[in-house]
Amino acid sequence: MTDEPSDEDWSPPLVMLAVDLVILTVRERTLRILLVERGVPPFAGMLALPGGFLGDEAEDVRLAATRELAEEAGLDATTLHLEQIGAYGAPARDPRGRVISVAYLAIAPRLPDPVPGSDAADARWEPATAVLSGQLPVAFDHREIIADGIEQARAKLEHTTLATAFCHENFTITELQHVYEAVWDLRLDPRNFARKVRRTEGFVAPAGTPRRTGSGRPAQLFQRGEGRVLYPPMTRATTATVTGTPGEETAG
Amino acid sequence: MTDEPSDEDWSPPLVMLAVDLVILTVRERTLRILLVERGVPPFAGMLALPGGFLGDEAEDVRLAATRELAEEAGLDATTLHLEQIGAYGAPARDPRGRVISVAYLAIAPRLPDPVPGSDAADARWEPATAVLSGQLPVAFDHREIIADGIEQARAKLEHTTLATAFCHENFTITELQHVYEAVWDLRLDPRNFARKVRRTEGFVAPAGTPRRTGSGRPAQLFQRGEGRVLYPPMTRATTATVTGTPGEETAG
DNA sequence: TGCCTTATTGTCCAAGTGACATAAAGGGGC
DNA sequence: GCCCCTTTATGTCACTTGGACAATAAGGCA
């Protein structure tokens, strides 16, 4: 962050700053992402990530993300998990000019559908696989952002307790398993999974009501433990893909 | 990334975009970071990360990082590992105005000292712990960026082959172990370490010359394997700290 | 009451890992 | 050449973990 050496009166170029939100949830045992239909050009009518430009020159970037989370998705940032994915700054990524976008990953428990007539009326929960496969096209470079965000979530499920962010305050081991299965897109053995979860210190803690409705034997309820790091980590099959740096290829 | 709903003639605020580089290497069995002494205000005379503003409005962000890598550190980006850490955009992080910085992590093998008289004359390799502990003050919010970058490197050593980026083309198992020990700041058992490395498929491959100078028994030489993901991962002690999202706290 | 469904506990064995002993391969002093 | 020192390589053993899978517990419902 030293200054340019040469010209005395050189001044850095100015760019526009945007935030984009990769909001994930699990519905019908499937990982889903919240997308909105664009109403105006460019890419009018196409699906895109919720997001927008910095509100004013003094707005914090993360605050812009929480604001858009409320405005475009009707979600309360204090409720859900929110972390940064990275910056995307390819010169031609936005036809309106030089736009650098800071992408955020948000994790939400299963929620009611976006209410028609509300701010988030044109928002839809779409299956993640449809976007990743390219079957469902999205605007800008959003497919790349989504891929990075999902990979970040998948990786964090391995060695952090992020999976509990997909659950409500109280949840069963089976519900937690469904999170792993949906995000990783694979099946796990319930017995081994339960053993692993319970033996991992700080992952879950028993919750008040020891039972719950259902069709089989009632399941015990848990809440997130005090730990944030899983040791030893949960392991997904050896099919892991190395995650590049967000927004670009990795050199070297 | 939809547009602002309200005013017709609203236009987003303009910001300056910078890149900052966290360049790590291992010297004298210690993790070190390349810092430069600032010549001009703000923070003149203080140490800071190499970096600078976007060169012009059309320059790709990653390209700006590689350019600064060459200009300020005299390093060739095609040689070393370079990946993004994240964006840092607190409103008051730079007294010159609204500056959003995209931070990059670069990993270099042990290199000769910066040549006095060259572009990188005022660059120095400082111990990482001195910066992390606050003992060595740095400009702007660079300590936070450095902490995030180092934590990213530490985490990636666990489940990727990033450690080989600290080594030259050919290296011994012991040299690789020194990388882990320096980055993680702990000691490992050489016998268990060698067993683990060799059994992990794709981590290292035998290199041509089967021997090498030294004072004891000559060590076999290796090169990086074709794999990028370590399975099962290397494990550091359970003292792991959860890494927040770059540049801000994690909510929820 | 008996069947179906889901949750929970338990067994068995192969693989992984920490702790530690021992052998191999050079250099240097004498 | 020979002994010692240093560093690398291989091996052993007990313990833990994890995958595959059997068996039991606890409800709903006909």
Note whether B247 contacts A62, CB cutoff 8 Å: yes
The pLDDT assigned to A239 comes to: 36
Q: Where in chain B is the domain with CATH 3.90.79.10?
A: 16-156
Contact A18 B1 (CB under 8 A): yes
- Better-scored residue on pLDDT, B77 or A244: B77
Residue B217, min C-alpha distance to chain A (Å) = 32
pLDDT of residue A84 exceeding 90, the answer is: yes
What is the three-state SS of chain A?
CCCCCCCCCCCCCEEEEEEEEEEEEEECCEEEEEEEECCCCCCCCCEECCEEECCCCCCCHHHHHHHHHHHHHCCCCCCCEEEEEEEECCCCCCCCCCEEEEEEEEECCCCCCCCCCCCCCCEEEEEHHHHHCCCCCECCCHHHHHHHHHHHHHHHHHHECHHHHHCCCCECHHHHHHHHHHHHCCCCCHHHHHHHHHHCCCCEEECCCCCCCCCCCCCCCEEECCCCECCCCCCCCCCCCCCCCCCCCCEC
**pLDDT at position B242, please?**
37
Return residue ranges of chain A for CATH 1.10.10.10: 161-252
| A169 within 8 A of A223, measured Cβ to Cβ | yes
Average pLDDT over every residue of B137-158: 98
> What is the pTM (predicted TM-score) of this model?
0.92
pLDDT tens digits, one per residue of B97-138: 999 999 999 999 988 777 666 667 789 999 999 999 999 999
pLDDT of residue B210: 65
- Given a cut of 50, whether residue A240 has pLDDT beyond it is no
The answer to whether residue B127 neighbours chain A at the CB level (below 8 Å) is no
The whole-number pLDDT of residue B174 equals 96
A46 touches B at CB < 8 Å: no
| Confidence at residue B238, expressed as pLDDT on a 0 to 100 scale | 42
Name the band, by pLDDT with cuts 50, 70 and 90, for residue A9.
confident
pLDDT (tens digit per residue) in A103-141: 999 999 988 777 666 667 789 999 999 999 999 999 999
Nearest CB among A2, A53, A241 relative to B4 is that of: A53
> Residue B241: what pLDDT?
34
Asked if the model's pLDDT at residue B158 lies above 90, the reply is yes
Whether the per-residue pLDDT at B4 is higher than 80: the answer is no
Question: What is the pLDDT, as a whole number, of residue B245?
Answer: 47
Q: What is the pLDDT of residue A116?
A: 64
pLDDT class of B193 with cuts at 50, 70, 90:
very high
Position B215 confidence tier, pLDDT thresholds 50, 70, 90 = confident
Per-residue pLDDT tens over the stretch A153-209: 999 999 999 999 999 999 999 999 999 999 999 999 999 999 999 999 999 999 976
A29 contacts A181 by C-beta, under 8 angstroms: yes
Average confidence score pLDDT of chain A: 89
Residue A2 clears pLDDT 60, i.e. is over it: no
According to the model, what pLDDT value does residue A210 have? Answer: 65
CB of B89 within 8 Å of a chain A CB? The answer is yes
Helices (DSSP H) in chain B: which residue ranges? 61-73, 128-132, 142-159, 173-184, 190-199
Distance A194 CA to D14 C1' (A): 27
pLDDT of residue A249: 41
pLDDT score, position A122: 85
Q: Give, in Å, how far the C1' of D16 lies from the CA of A200.
A: 14
Asked if A52 lies within 8 A of B1 by C-beta distance, the reply is yes
Mutation site for A-interface testing, chosen from B1, B16, B46, B101 by largest number of A Cβ within 10 Å: B1
Comparison of pLDDT for A241 and A91, the residue scoring more: A91
Contact yes or no for A181/A236 (Cβ under 8 A): no
Q: How confident is the model at residue B205 (pLDDT cuts 50, 70, 90)?
A: very high
Residue A228 near chain B (CB below 8 Å):
yes
Distance CA B69, CA B162 (A): 19
pLDDT at A113 (0 to 100): 74
> Which chain B residues touch A52 with a CB distance below 8 Å?
1-4
What's the confidence (pLDDT) of residue B81? Answer: 97
Give the pLDDT band of residue B147 (cuts 50, 70, 90).
Answer: very high
Residue B212 pLDDT exceeds 70 = no
Smallest CA–CA distance, residue B220 to chain A, in Å, is 24
- pLDDT tens digit sequence for B35-72: 999 999 899 999 999 999 999 999 999 999 999 999 99
Amino acid at B231: Y
Q: Is the pLDDT of residue A102 over 70?
A: yes
Q: What is the pLDDT of residue B246?
A: 53
**What architecture is the A161-252 domain classified under in CATH?**
Orthogonal Bundle (1.10)
A143 contacts chain B (CB < 8 A): no
d(CA A251, CA B83): 8
Rounded CA separation B197/B176 (Å): 9
Q: Which of the four pLDDT bands, split at 50, 70 and 90, describes residue B239?
A: very low
Longest CA pairwise span in chain A (Å)? 76
pLDDT tier for residue B12 given thresholds of 50, 70 and 90: very high
Say yes or no to pLDDT of A238 above 50. Answer: no
Kindly report the average pLDDT of chain B as a whole number. 89
Interchain contact, A251 vs B107, CB within 8 Å: no
The rounded percent of chain A whose pLDDT value lies above 90 is 79
* Chain B contact for A193 (CB, 8 A cutoff): no
pLDDT for B101: 98
Strand partners, B31: B26
Instruction: Place domain A16-156 in its CATH homologous superfamily.
Output: Nucleoside Triphosphate Pyrophosphohydrolase (3.90.79.10)
Token pair 């607190």 is at which residue?
B90
Residue A93 has pLDDT above 70, yes or no: yes
**Does the beta-carbon distance from B59 to A246 stay under 8 Å?**
no
Nucleotides in chain D with any atom closer than 7 Å to protein CB: 5-11, 17-23, 25-29
What is the reported pLDDT for A221?
95
User: What is the mean predicted confidence (pLDDT) over B224-229?
Assistant: 95
Q: Is the pLDDT of residue B90 over 90?
A: yes
Segment A6-30 mean pLDDT? 92
